[in-house]
């Protein structure tokens, strides 16, 4: 995708790159439209998920990937977009990330792939 912008009589061209990949099973071409680079990470975290009703539930989740603004998690339970998630890192919670769920998709293994946008880092 190429966007053109005009400032003070000069033309600037901005290009957003897309990476593509093919699925090993169906051969379909998929576009990755993420604006940030994601890096694979491993580990587990304990998360508190808070819904609209104010109730909270604890859950252990596996880290999948990270970017500057968010995390990809694997959860045993679905987390609806918009739910607030507090992620505690380490055995003793030294740091906690407050995040908002932005996507949730069920995987073939029965777990859920959850994307969260990190709002801030705070002391636990």
Out of 1.10.760.10, 2.40.10.220, 2.40.70.10, 3.40.109.10, select the CATH number for domain 39-123. 2.40.10.220
Residue partners of 12: CB distance under 8 A and separation at least 6: 4, 5, 6
Domain residue ranges of the chain, discontinuous segments joined by +:
2-32, 39-123
Q: Please give the backbone phi and psi of residue 49, each rounded to the nearest 5 degrees, phi first.
A: -110, 125
pLDDT attached to residue 79:
94
40-58 confidence digits (pLDDT tens): 999 999 999 987 787 889 9
Most confident segment among 6-20, 40-54, 66-80: 66-80
Q: Please determine, for residue 69, whether its predicted confidence score (pLDDT) is greater than 70.
A: yes
79-106 confidence digits (pLDDT tens): 999 999 999 887 766 778 889 999 999 9
HEC string of 15-49 equals: ECCCEEEECCCCCCEEEECCCCCCEECCCEEEEEE
Q: Please determine, for residue 119, whether its predicted confidence score (pLDDT) is greater than 80.
A: no
């Amino acid at each position: 995708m190429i966007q053109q912008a005009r400032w003070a009589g000069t033309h600037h061209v901005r290009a957003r790159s897309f990476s593509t990949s093919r699925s090993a099973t169906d051969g379909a071409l998929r576009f990755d439209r993420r604006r940030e680079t994601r890096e694979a990470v491993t580990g587990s975290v304990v998360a508190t998920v808070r819904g609209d009703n104010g109730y909270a539930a604890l859950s252990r989740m596996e880290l999948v990937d990270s970017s500057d603004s968010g995390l990809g998690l694997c959860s045993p339970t679905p987390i609806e977009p918009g739910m607030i998630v507090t992620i505690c890192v380490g055995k003793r919670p030294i740091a906690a990330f407050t995040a908002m769920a932005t996507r949730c998709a069920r995987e073939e293994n029965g777990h859920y792939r959850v994307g969260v946008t990190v709002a801030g880092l705070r002391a636990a």
